[in-house]
């Protein structure tokens, strides 16, 4: 395995497992990265002024893309489409943080996932 392949797999693991952690394990927990003054993911979407349906659509897309990135370790054809979905979602997340005038620290996770996803989509 060459270095480039290994770095891509590491990016896939970081992004895939990170998103699954946030959406499946920590969705009800407060973090310092939540938008506005929200304590949960659902509250965060409400703070952005988004309807509940958007929360479910984004969640399904993020979880599906995360699983596709992890499966992409064995099925590389899944990586680019999954990374592209995440690029779009992370740009949206950054825009939402700007919308509610969040502190720059709250942008960090979305920016990291965006950069790693750009690397994977290239």
pTM: 0.94
What pLDDT score does 27 carry? 93
Q: How far is CA 90 from the centre of its chain?
A: 6
Q: What is the Cα–Cα distance from 78 to 86, expressed in whole angstroms?
A: 13
Pair 93, 116: CB distance under 8 Å: no
Mean pLDDT value across residues 33-40? 91
Nearest to 82 by CA among 112, 111, 113: 113
Residue 93 reports pLDDT greater than 90: yes
Pair 8, 58: CB distance under 8 Å: no
Tell me phi and psi for residue 49, to 5 degrees: 80, 20
Pair 59, 53: CB distance under 8 Å: no
pLDDT band at 1 (very low <50, low <70, confident <90, very high): confident
Residue 45 reports pLDDT greater than 90: yes
Nearest to 70 by CA among 1, 122, 120: 120
Mean pLDDT value across residues 116-122? 96
What pLDDT score does 36 carry? 87
């Amino acid at each position: 395995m060459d270095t480039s392949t290994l770095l891509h797999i590491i990016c896939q693991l970081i992004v895939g497992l990170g998103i699954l952690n946030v959406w499946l394990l920590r969705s009800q927990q407060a973090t310092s990265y939540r938008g506005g003054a929200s304590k949960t993911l659902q509250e965060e979407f409400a703070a952005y002024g988004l309807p509940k349906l958007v929360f479910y659509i984004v969640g399904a897309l993020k979880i599906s893309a995360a699983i596709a990135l992890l499966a992409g370790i064995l099925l590389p054809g899944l990586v680019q489409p999954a990374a592209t979905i995440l690029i779009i979602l992370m740009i949206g997340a950054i825009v939402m943080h700007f919308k509610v005038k969040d502190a720059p620290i709250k942008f960090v996770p979305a920016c990291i996932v965006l950069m790693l996803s750009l690397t994977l989509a290239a």
